[in-house]
């Protein structure tokens, strides 16, 4: 009986948050181990579907680095990175786009739809959603790597208005319509800005921002900048926190996607389980 009562308490604790966030947009960057492990993947999908079922408007931006690397290895293409960015060029861009937009995107959509959600998969090239330019115009090894010029939100807003969950692959288009591979963290951040999202959520393989081995539950943009300068924040966490700092979104969350139902625990409980980066 006590376990049943505990479940009721959990629902009661979530109720004010459900009321607060109903009708608000949450942009979720989905990647890392939470995409690879079937159990973790299902946990994330169920969290997304629950958000939608209580009136929150989730928008999903996904990565797919490990699957891209595997495909490139299979076809004899070299995998290389510069400053954490995958070197994408005329020789491998079709494989990158095929994996992101053709396989990973469609699998996420299928998973959501099977779980009683209503998802539509799109690429940043669709509807002129992500307009981009070359990240490094003089570098032939990166002649298909993009940086975002602007976000056109009309397609996303149309899907949200019709009750769908947009699932977006991080491929943009240049002025000639050519595909450019863009860092998914950047795409999520810029889409969240353009949509004036209530929250931007990054799913990672770590608990959040830590200092001396201890999780920082909340930090402001200035404090986060100082931790980067001091080397406390390093490696793959730097670009995520940098996008948090640059973002106009009031609340950006960095969560461990390998923890069961981490999105729900962060959003619908008072304590949360990750790091929240706030503007002030």
Mean pLDDT on 126-132:
97
Mean pLDDT on 64-69:
89
At 247-264, the pLDDT tens digits run 889 889 999 999 999 999
Cβ atoms 86, 79 nearer than 8 A: yes
What is the structure's pLDDT at 32? Answer: 82
What is the structure's pLDDT at 35? Answer: 85
Res. 73 pLDDT band, cuts 50 70 90: very high
% helix, strand, coil for the chain, step of 5 = 45, 25, 30
> What CATH topology corresponds to 24-278?
Carbamate kinase (3.40.1160)
| Least confident interval from 6-10, 123-127, 156-160, 226-230 | 6-10
User: Mean pLDDT for the chain?
Assistant: 90
Task: Report percent pLDDT > 90 for the chain.
Answer: 60
Mean pLDDT on 201-217:
88
Say whether pLDDT at 8 is over 80: no
* CA–CA dist 196, 159 (Å, integer): 16
- Give the Å distances, CA to CA, from 254 to 53, 90, 119, 185, 217: 23, 33, 24, 11, 10
Decide which of 76 and 235 is more confident.
76
Cβ atoms 249, 190 nearer than 8 A: no
Say whether pLDDT at 12 is over 90: no
Cβ atoms 34, 44 nearer than 8 A: yes
246-250 — which CB contacts under 8 Å span 24+ positions? Answer: 246/189, 247/189, 247/192, 247/193, 247/200, 248/193, 248/196, 248/279, 249/27, 249/189, 249/192, 249/193, 249/197, 249/198, 249/199, 249/200, 250/198, 250/278, 250/279
**Contacts with 274 (C-beta within 8 Å, 6 or more apart), sequence order:** 207, 208, 215, 217, 253, 254, 255, 256, 262, 266
Residue indicated by tokens 């729900």: 264
What is the structure's pLDDT at 261? Answer: 92
Nearest to 187 by CA among 152, 238, 143: 152
Residue-range domain boundaries for the chain: 24-278
Cβ atoms 93, 145 nearer than 8 A: no
pTM for this model (two decimals): 0.93
Q: Answer left, alpha or beta for residue 183, where phi above 0 means left and psi between -120 and 50 means alpha.
A: beta
What is the structure's pLDDT at 242? Answer: 84
Decide which of 179 and 139 is more confident.
179
Residue indicated by tokens 């539509």: 120
* CA–CA dist 238, 232 (Å, integer): 10
What is the structure's pLDDT at 34? Answer: 82
Mean pLDDT on 52-67:
95
Angle of helix 221-229 versus helix 237-246 axis, rounded to 10 = 150
**Contacts with 232 (C-beta within 8 Å, 6 or more apart), sequence order:** 211
* Residues found in the chain: 280
E strand segments, the chain: 25-30, 57-62, 81-82, 85-86, 119-123, 130-134, 146-151, 165-169, 171-173, 179-181, 199-204, 210-211, 214-215, 218-220, 251-256, 275-278
* CA–CA dist 268, 265 (Å, integer): 6
Say whether pLDDT at 55 is over 90: yes
What is the structure's pLDDT at 97? Answer: 97
At 158-192, the pLDDT tens digits run 999 999 999 999 999 999 999 999 999 999 999 99
């Amino acid at each position: 009986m006590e376990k049943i009562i505990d479940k009721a308490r959990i629902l009661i604790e979530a109720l004010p948050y459900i009321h607060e966030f109903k009708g608000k947009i949450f942009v979720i960057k989905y990647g890392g181990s939470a995409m690879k492990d079937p159990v973790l993947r299902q946990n994330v999908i169920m969290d997304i579907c629950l958000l939608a079922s209580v009136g929150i408007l989730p928008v999903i931006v996904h990565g797919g680095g490990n699957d891209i690397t595997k495909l490139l290895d299979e076809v004899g293409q070299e995998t290389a990175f510069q400053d954490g960015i995958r070197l994408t060029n005329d020789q491998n861009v079709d494989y990158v786009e095929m994996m992101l937009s053709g396989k990973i995107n469609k699998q996420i959509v299928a998973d959501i739809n099977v779980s009683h959600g209503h998802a539509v998969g799109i690429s940043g090239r669709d509807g002129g959603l992500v307009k981009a330019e070359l990240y490094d115009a003089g570098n032939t090894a990166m002649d298909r790597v993009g940086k975002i010029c602007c976000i056109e939100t009309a397609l996303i807003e149309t899907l949200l208005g019709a009750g769908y969950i947009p699932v977006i692959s991080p491929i943009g288009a240049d002025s000639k319509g050519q595909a450019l591979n863009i860092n998914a963290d950047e795409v999520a951040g810029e889409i969240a800005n353009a949509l004036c999202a209530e929250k931007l959520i990054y799913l990672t393989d770590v608990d959040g921002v830590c200092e001396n081995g201890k999780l920082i539950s909340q930090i402001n943009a200035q404090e986060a900048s100082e931790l980067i300068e001091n080397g406390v924040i390093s490696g793959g966490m730097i670009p995520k926190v940098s996008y948090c700092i640059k973002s106009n979104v009031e609340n950006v969350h960095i969560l461990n996607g390998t923890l069961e139902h981490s999105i729900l625990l962060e959003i619908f409980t008072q304590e949360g389980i990750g790091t929240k980066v706030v503007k002030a």
